[in-house]
Amino acid sequence: MRTPGRVAGAVALRVLTQLRRDRRTLVMLLALPCLLVVLLWWMFEDAPGSSFDRLGPGLLALFPFVVMFLVTSVTMLRERSSGTLERLLTLPAGRLDLILGYALAFGVVAAVQSTLAVAVSVGPLGLDVAGPVWLLVVVAVADAVLGTALGLFVSAFARTEFQAVQFLPAFVIPQILLCGLLLPREVLPSGLEEVSSVLPLSYATDAMQTLSRSTATGAVLADLAVVVGFGAACLALGAATLRRRTA
């Protein structure tokens, strides 16, 4: 009776159905990243140099990560408080299956979201990318899945909505500060540079910046592998911290 992926597929389908019901959230998920890159482009329109080309790719890594982190945390918290998670844990559903179901659903959303944001950036806004555009999309989707994975993991430690929202400044903003977008990572004081090199967003940003500057894909794929590795580790930890029995 146990078909692998049955539960993950069921969860993913369900989450996508819920999102489809919530039109406003869906529209915001898909439109906001596009509007934000437009805002960035506009900011630098009269500035000398090519700041948009420099910052744009990094932000394409950032938006899906942040948005998916938040959406996932809130979804998980709702699942806990409504009693549905407790019920699911009494059913023949593996904990990793449940977690993978969420990652799958949000991965699909992230793919659409990132494709749109990248299309707007390299199309009408004329973002200059040296590397292949499809790889830009792949990195953005990996970032989104990373955000989902991290959100799933830390949501295990949130008891209330307030705590869940506070995890954004706790787990995400330090990564944004140190990822190399504000200041190249090489010029960070020693200590902080080491910290930044164990944070996944640094690798995502590196990948995006390399893509924008060079046509060589080797370094990008290496960074991408690190991001995917972090994501997989967070999903595994998320499944491990999802306890069937709670106090």
Partner 1 sequence: MMNNTVEVRGLVVVRGRHRVLDGLDLDVAPGVTGLLGPSGCGKSTLLRSVVGVQRVAGGAVRVLGQDAGAAALRRRVGYVTQAASVYDDLTVAENLRFFARVLGVTRHDVERAVESVDLGEHRDQVVGRLSGGQRSRASLAVAMLGEPDLLVLDEPTVGLDPVLRRDLWAVFHRIADGGATVLVSSHVMDEAERCDRLLLMRDGAVLTDDTPDGVKRRTGAGDVETAFLRLVEDLA
Query: 215-235 burial, b if ≥16 CB within 10 A, otherwise e?
Result: eeeeebeebbebbbebbeebb
Is 212:56 a contact under the CB 8 Å cutoff? yes
Nearer to partner 1, 152 or 179 (CB): 152
> What is the smallest separation between the CB atom of 2 and partner 1, expressed in angstroms?
8
> What is the smallest separation between the CB atom of 191 and partner 1, expressed in angstroms?
40
Return all residues near 190 (Cβ < 8 A) that are at least 6 apart. Answer: none
Query: Which parts of this chain interact with partner 1 (CB under 8 A)?
Result: 1-3, 6-7, 9-11, 13-14, 17-18, 21-22, 81-84, 86-93, 243-247
> What is the smallest separation between the CB atom of 3 and partner 1, expressed in angstroms?
7
Nearer to partner 1, 17 or 50 (CB): 17
> What is the smallest separation between the CB atom of 18 and partner 1, expressed in angstroms?
5
Tokens of 217: 């894909």
Nearer to partner 1, 88 or 227 (CB): 88
Nearer to partner 1, 13 or 35 (CB): 13
Q: Is 66 exposed, middle or buried (0-12, 13-18, 19+ CB in 10 A)?
A: buried
Phi-psi region of 64 (alpha: psi -120 to 50; beta: other; left: phi over 0): alpha
Nearer to partner 1, 86 or 194 (CB): 86
Return all residues near 211 (Cβ < 8 A) that are at least 6 apart. Answer: 57, 129, 130, 131, 132, 135, 136, 139, 220
- Which amino acid is located at 156 in the chain? A
In angstroms, the CA 234 to CA 242 distance is 12
- Identify which of 180, 176, 15, 10 has the alpha carbon closest to the alpha carbon of residue 97: 10
Nearer to partner 1, 88 or 220 (CB): 88
Is 226:207 a contact under the CB 8 Å cutoff? no
> What is the smallest separation between the CB atom of 92 and partner 1, expressed in angstroms?
4
> What is the smallest separation between the CB atom of 70 and partner 1, expressed in angstroms?
18
Nearer to partner 1, 11 or 211 (CB): 11
> What is the smallest separation between the CB atom of 23 and partner 1, expressed in angstroms?
11
